[in-house]
């Protein structure tokens, strides 16, 4: 093993305090979770410098980027030099995999090391391209995910004595494996519900009395409704915590309320990113979960987060919305620096009542900049429309948004299932409420209850039909 790799691994593991048990009653790793800003930045600084040396020495992808940017091995000595490092975009990464198949040239691990590091394959869900992009992560990395996942779950209030039912499928998802391994590390029993039907999962909830439910917000809503349809009572179950990943639902206030009312449980947001933030980058502490407007902690000892203006990629002023750019501070397989995640966020560094000092994303991930839809000159995130629809009384959880252009004018139609009997007045009332919430007129199309397909995984609810035929 070379000096640069040795230095990187020992730096990452040196800071891995309380690896297998909580360090205090409130925090898994109190030293890192409650450190002062100076301590957090000191740690980030040390790791940024080490990652830079590692990538210079062993990543041909990054060495090319550094040379193109006119950098030398001595150019980055800490956090203060981070902005000198060029940004990494998904497109150049995909092009690198194309040019150096099948894995690309960004990993600092050598071919010989890959043979002995117990890699596993992971993939994106493939929503942005026809072919999902794949990655390898080693045992070392997956141990990091488990430890960081344990810190996040502990902050949510998951403890020994809980029993978890995971509804994520057995597949190449970093979120699923990270959370699964975290529960193992914590000694929390896991019921793997991934391969089971919804009917069987309902039975698991009834018979084995799990207290923590893991899945996508869409699916956990669906599961609760199916229990009700089967004459069972999700509120009467032992479920007390919903750990939600894969979609922004737990941070969409109206969806969060629906989930919490349905299950009589608290909903917690957990997010990351397959490329750069495989463990929980964002996780909601128990104190924030009490609020309807959520603020999601970012694990800043493991990542550097920057919020940049999408036009010029300069830092936005504190508290302003910008594009999230993330540097990974722990991976041996892909310690990617300054990756443009593309999600918009707004951060606060104000103190949190939980005592953790790390920054919080107000409202979680606000949506990807390229998901923004412009309708009659107004810009909307799909999550904002979801919030307006899910806040409507008397409608089911399923809905679809269609944006069309008729006679040169944008039209938004929302297709909704009523939860019970309704009439024309109901339709008008929904239109008025949506117009008040969104600021534009909305056509509501009611379809018979139960007629829309139920969402089993990541939901795609917005169809922009203006693009059809124009590309």
Round to whole Å and give the CA distance between 35 and 28.
Answer: 13
Question: Which among 225-233, 345-353, 379-387, 408-416 is the span making contact with Zn ion, rule CB under 5 A?
Answer: 345-353
Strand pairing class (295-298; 360-362): antiparallel
The verdict on 153 binding Zn ion (CB under 5 A) reads no
Round to whole Å and give the CA distance between 282 and 12.
Answer: 19
Question: Which among 40-48, 190-198, 347-355, 370-378 is the span making contact with Zn ion, rule CB under 5 A?
Answer: 347-355
Question: Which among 132-140, 156-164, 354-362, 441-449 is the span making contact with Zn ion, rule CB under 5 A?
Answer: 354-362
Binding to Zn ion (CB under 5 A): which residues in 300-329? Answer: none
Nearer to Zn ion among residue 49 and residue 153 (C-beta): 153
Nearer to Zn ion among residue 286 and residue 384 (C-beta): 286
Give one word for 102, left, alpha or beta, with left for phi > 0 and alpha for psi -120 to 50: alpha
The verdict on 285 binding Zn ion (CB under 5 A) reads yes
CB of 317: closest distance to Zn ion in angstroms?
23
445 strand-pairing partners: 415
The verdict on 358 binding Zn ion (CB under 5 A) reads no
From residue 332, alpha-carbon distances to 100, 105, 119, 259, 369 in Å are: 19, 14, 11, 37, 29
Nearer to Zn ion among residue 133 and residue 356 (C-beta): 356
3-state secondary structure of 67: helix
Nearer to Zn ion among residue 79 and residue 156 (C-beta): 156
Round to whole Å and give the CA distance between 258 and 267.
Answer: 10
Question: Which among 180-188, 281-289, 343-351, 400-408 is the span making contact with Zn ion, rule CB under 5 A?
Answer: 281-289
Nearer to Zn ion among residue 33 and residue 113 (C-beta): 33
Strand pairing class (347-348; 360-362): antiparallel
CB of 356: closest distance to Zn ion in angstroms?
5
From residue 422, alpha-carbon distances to 212, 407, 428 in Å are: 36, 31, 11
CB of 84: closest distance to Zn ion in angstroms?
32
User: Which residue bears the tokens 């790799």?
Assistant: 5
Binding to Zn ion (CB under 5 A): which residues in 233-262? Answer: none
CB of 24: closest distance to Zn ion in angstroms?
15
As given in the structure block, the two tokens for residue 87 are 């940004």
The verdict on 356 binding Zn ion (CB under 5 A) reads yes
CB of 83: closest distance to Zn ion in angstroms?
28
Asked if 165 and 151 count as a contact pair (C-beta separation under 8 A), the reply is no
CB of 27: closest distance to Zn ion in angstroms?
10
Q: Which ranges of 354-445 does DSSP label H, i.e. alpha helix?
A: 382-390, 424-438
Nearer to Zn ion among residue 354 and residue 365 (C-beta): 354
Question: Which among 171-179, 181-189, 332-340, 350-358 is the span making contact with Zn ion, rule CB under 5 A?
Answer: 350-358
Asked if 19 and 184 count as a contact pair (C-beta separation under 8 A), the reply is no
* Residue of 352, 247, 342 whose CA lies nearest to 289: 352
Query: Total number of residues binding Zn ion (CB under 5 A)?
Result: 5
User: Which residue bears the tokens 């691990």?
Assistant: 109
From residue 201, alpha-carbon distances to 34, 192, 193, 450 in Å are: 38, 10, 6, 20
The verdict on 165 binding Zn ion (CB under 5 A) reads no
The verdict on 352 binding Zn ion (CB under 5 A) reads yes
Question: Which among 279-287, 302-310, 323-331, 370-378 is the span making contact with Zn ion, rule CB under 5 A?
Answer: 279-287
The verdict on 286 binding Zn ion (CB under 5 A) reads no
Round to whole Å and give the CA distance between 152 and 357.
Answer: 14
DSSP single-letter state for residue 86 = P
Please select the residue that binds Zn ion; options are 32, 85, 220, 354, rule is CB under 5 A: 354
User: Which residue bears the tokens 């004595």?
Assistant: 161
As given in the structure block, the two tokens for residue 441 are 């007129």
Question: Which among 64-72, 204-212, 265-273, 355-363 is the span making contact with Zn ion, rule CB under 5 A?
Answer: 355-363
Nearer to Zn ion among residue 46 and residue 287 (C-beta): 287
Nearer to Zn ion among residue 137 and residue 360 (C-beta): 360
Round to whole Å and give the CA distance between 246 and 142.
Answer: 18
3-state secondary structure of 298: strand
The verdict on 152 binding Zn ion (CB under 5 A) reads no
First to last CA, the chain: 50
CB of 157: closest distance to Zn ion in angstroms?
11
Question: Which among 227-235, 246-254, 353-361, 401-409 is the span making contact with Zn ion, rule CB under 5 A?
Answer: 353-361
Nearer to Zn ion among residue 350 and residue 394 (C-beta): 350
Nearer to Zn ion among residue 352 and residue 447 (C-beta): 352
From residue 190, alpha-carbon distances to 108, 363, 461 in Å are: 34, 29, 31
- Positions touching Zn ion (CB under 5 A) are 285, 287, 352, 354, 356
């Amino acid at each position: 093993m070379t000096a640069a790799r040795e230095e990187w691994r020992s730096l990452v593991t040196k800071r891995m305090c309380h690896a297998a048990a909580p360090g205090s009653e409130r925090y898994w790793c109190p030293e890192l979770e409650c450190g002062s800003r100076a301590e957090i930045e000191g740690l980030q600084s040390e790791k940024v410098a080490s990652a830079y040396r590692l990538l210079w020495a062993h990543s041909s992808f990054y060495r090319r980027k550094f040379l193109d940017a006119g950098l030398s091995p001595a150019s980055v000595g800490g956090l203060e030099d981070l902005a000198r490092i060029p940004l990494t975009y998904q497109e150049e990464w995909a092009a690198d995999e194309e040019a150096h198949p099948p894995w690309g040239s960004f990993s600092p691990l050598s071919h010989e090391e890959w043979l002995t590091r117990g890699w596993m394959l992971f993939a994106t869900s493939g929503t942005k391209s026809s072919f999902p992009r794949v990655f390898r992560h080693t045992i070392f990395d997956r141990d990091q995910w488990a430890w960081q996942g344990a810190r996040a779950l502990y902050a949510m209030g998951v403890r020994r004595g809980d029993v978890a039912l995971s509804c994520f499928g057995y597949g190449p998802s970093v979120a699923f494996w990270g959370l699964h391994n975290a529960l193992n590390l914590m000694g929390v029993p896991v019921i793997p519900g991934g391969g089971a039907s919804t009917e069987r999962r309902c039975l698991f909830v009834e018979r084995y009395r799990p207290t923590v439910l893991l899945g996508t917000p869409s699916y956990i809503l669906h599961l609760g409704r199916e229990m009700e349809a089967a004459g069972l009572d999700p509120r009467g179950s032992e479920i007390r915590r919903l750990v939600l990943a894969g979609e922004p639902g737990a941070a969409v206030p109206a969806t969060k309320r629906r989930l919490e009312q349905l299950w009589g449980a608290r909903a917690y947001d957990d997010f990351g990113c397959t490329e750069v933030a495989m463990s929980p980058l964002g996780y909601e502490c128990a104190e924030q979960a009490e609020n309807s407007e959520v603020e999601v902690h970012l694990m800043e000892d493991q990542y550097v987060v920057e919020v940049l203006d999408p036009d010029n990629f300069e830092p936005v002023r504190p508290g302003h919305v910008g594009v999230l750019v993330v540097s990974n501070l722990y991976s041996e397989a892909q310690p990617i620096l300054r990756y443009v995640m593309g999600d918009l966020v707004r951060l606060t560094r104000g103190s949190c009542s939980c005592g953790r000092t790390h920054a919080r994303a107000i409202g979680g991930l606000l949506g990807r900049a390229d998901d923004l839809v412009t309708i009659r000159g107004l810009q909307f995130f799909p999550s904002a429309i979801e919030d307006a629809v899910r806040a409507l009384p008397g409608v089911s959880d399923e809905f679809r948004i269609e944006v069309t252009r008729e006679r040169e004018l944008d039209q938004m139609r929302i297709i909704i299932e009523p939860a019970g009997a309704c009439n024309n007045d109901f339709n008008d009332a929904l239109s008025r409420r949506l117009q008040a919430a969104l600021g534009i007129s909305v056509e509501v199309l009611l379809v018979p209850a139960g007629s829309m397909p139920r969402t089993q995984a990541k939901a795609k609810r917005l169809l922009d039909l203006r693009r059809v035929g124009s590309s």
